[in-house]
Amino acid sequence: MILEYLITFIEGLASFISPCVLPIIPVYISYFGVESKEEKKALINSLGFVSGFSIIFILLGVFVGTLGKIITKYANYINIILGVFLVIVSLNYMGIIFIRFLNKSKGIKKEKKDLTFITSVVFGMIFSLSWTPCVGAFLSSALILASTTGSVLKGAILLLCYSLGLAIPFVVTTFLLEKLKTTFDFIKKHYNVINKIAGGILLISGLGYIIQGVIKIIS
């Protein structure tokens, strides 16, 4: 279903504006060469960076897709579990409950700014691993959805969509950082509303999976 790919893409976008990612975007982008106004260098490094975290996320998609192929016959029960998980993390995003590991953030420990495409790829891989707890709600949702497909290819494509949702804003923001400052300030000022909207999307998705799984089991 096209909707599945759209949902994972939106989850990638939501990860970009999550409370522990958005505030550090300008700092990350400063490593790409923006400060020296080298647009070509900034483009190459930003593409390397997004390629790095995309590689990791897609490999995760392949892994869970392979796992899903083995447990396809339990898909209905997994849908219910996925639904319950999404409901829980949606309540976290809406501020109704607090789950520590989903709200965990880490500082930037990289000091070298003279990046190349290759080192930017590595930097992106480190980003994907160190920030997984921070974007855990949306990434986990995408991964669990991929695990229910029973297809390695579909699992990879779903996580590619998630990666694109996270990557496109990174690349665009690299060149529009100053122009988007007002937008960033607006988003940070309205985090509570944005989180509630994101949580609402996850809540609806979670309830949908639960209902779908229950209906198929009893039918």
Residue 47 has what pLDDT? 92
Q: Give the residue extent of every domain in the chain.
A: 2-218
Task: Give the pLDDT confidence of 111-130 residue by residue, as tens digits.
Answer: 445 678 998 899 889 888 76
- Which comes out higher in pLDDT, residue 218 or 192? 218
Determine whether 14 is exposed, middle or buried from the number of CB atoms within 10 Å of its CB (0-12, 13-18, 19+).
Answer: buried
pLDDT of residue 134 exceeding 80 = no
CB neighbour list of residue 58: distance below 8 Å, 6 or more residues apart: 156, 159, 160, 163
Residue 107 has what pLDDT? 46
Answer whether 32's CB lies under 8 Å from 49's CB: yes
Question: Which residue bears the tokens 């609402």?
Answer: 200
pLDDT of residue 53 exceeding 60 = yes
Indicate the average pLDDT of the chain. Answer: 78
Residue 140 has what pLDDT? 74
pLDDT of residue 58 exceeding 80 = yes
Q: Give me the half-sphere count of Cα atoms (radius 13 Å) on the Cβ side of residue 42.
A: 19
